[in-house]
Amino acid sequence: MSQTRRLRLLHLHSTFSPGGKELRAAKLMNAFGAGVEHVVVSGVDGELGAASAVDPAIAVSYPANFPSLAGKPSPWRWWRIARAMRGFDLVLTYNWGSMDAVGAHWLFGRIMRLPPLVHHEDGFNQDEAGGLKPIRNRLRRLTLPTAAALVVPSRVLEDIAAQMWNVPPDKLKRIPNGIPLGDYANTAPPVALSGIAKPPGALWLGTLAGLRAVKNLPRLVRAFAALPPPWELVIVGEGGERGAILAEAARLGLSDRVHLPGFASDPALVLPQFDLFALSSDSEQFPISVVEAMAAGLAVVSPAVGDVADIVSPDNQPLITPPGDEAALSAALTTAAFDPALRSAIGAANRARAFAEFGEEAMIRTYRITYAEALGRTDFP
């Protein structure tokens, strides 16, 4: 492989709508610069909203004719996917929605002399939030140990990969998510959200989340119902659950106090408008939004999913509730909402922890090392 030509990376995503893993992938593309060419495929047609986060100077394309990543697994389907992987230097797959590509690489990789593959697993959708499916785990156990590396962000996923999927220790890479801390050190004015403005005296309970079933945002609406005015709920994100969230707000008579302004590209300019941050997910691993909220100096209320309890500061841990316990989530929101001094103290502790431990520089450096090792190189652009 020439050391002077641009590297070609193939990204196979379950979806490329703007969410944690997608925006992290875009951030890495930007960091790798003009020396790398990217081809990005979404497993769901048309879900390419995270493309807006990729620097226009980056060489990236979004082909519409790549073989479908969804469908019943079969050697024929996998052969077509494998054939489409040829001509790249490195294949990057993401989450369960790309596992057919991992299977294709496992079955045909040697025969077709395919490029190395690195799989990224960031967590599970609603259909596995309550427990992993045995048939899926069998496929993971069969195929993931043969990848060049498996990247996970959380200790929970690291344990699952080692114990349930038999991924060798030398191939298992835990890379915690990081954020651009400098964006949270400035005093830029907050950006206006689409369709809403914060009235004088209002208090905002906010979240950043893809509007997907696994985020269980109707649960957050129900938990928020215990808070009186001037509290309002602001859910920033896009996705297919918008109707369900609005319907739950209407059912509870909260339509005038629940706002869905859509996706915001710069969390550092949105989060300062919040007075308290919350998650209500059935499943998370290492949510970037929690780290972003911490860097913005916010207290966080969340179920104890994934590594959330370990991410937040010790001061914040009493606001982390048992998974699935809606009453406990509501009680924690009420505790924080009625105690501004508590919110302020926890927010300061969270900010200090975020700035001490969760900068993006270390994350990007570790991804460079991981991809270079997969390519058999000593460096990566």
pLDDT in single tens digits along all 381 residues of the chain: 445 689 999 999 999 988 889 999 999 999 999 889 999 999 999 999 999 999 999 999 999 999 999 988 899 999 999 999 999 999 999 999 999 999 999 999 999 999 999 999 998 877 786 788 999 999 999 999 999 999 999 999 999 999 999 999 999 999 999 999 999 987 677 788 888 989 999 999 999 998 999 999 999 999 999 999 999 999 999 989 999 999 999 999 999 999 999 988 889 999 999 999 999 999 898 999 999 999 999 999 999 999 999 999 999 999 999 999 999 999 999 999 999 999 999 999 999 999 999 999 999 999 999 999 999 999 998
In this prediction, residue 53 carries a pLDDT of: 92
In this prediction, residue 191 carries a pLDDT of: 80
Q: Which residues pair with 93 in a beta bridge?
A: 12, 119
Q: Looking at domain 7-177+360-375, does it have CATH number 3.40.50.2000?
A: yes
CB 175 within 8 A of CB 363: yes
In this prediction, residue 377 carries a pLDDT of: 94
Distance between terminal CA atoms of the chain? Answer: 14
In this prediction, residue 81 carries a pLDDT of: 98
In this prediction, residue 234 carries a pLDDT of: 98
| All residues at 6 or more sequence positions from 97 whose CB lies less than 8 Å from its CB, including other chains | 13, 14, 15, 43, 44, 69, 70
CATH (residue range 181-357): 3.40.50.2000
Would you say the CATH fold of 181-357 matches that of 7-177+360-375? Answer: yes
The token pair that represents 24 in the structure block: 């992290």
Count of positions (residues) in the chain = 381
In this prediction, residue 1 carries a pLDDT of: 42
pTM of the model: 0.81
- The CA-based angle 6-149-128, given to 5 degrees, is 120
Every domain of the chain and the residues it spans:
7-177+360-375, 181-357
| All residues at 6 or more sequence positions from 126 whose CB lies less than 8 Å from its CB, including other chains | 212, 213, 214, 282, 283
In this prediction, residue 4 carries a pLDDT of: 65
d(CA 294, CA 242): 26
- The CA-based angle 78-21-5, given to 5 degrees, is 70
Q: What is the DSSP letter of 197?
A: -
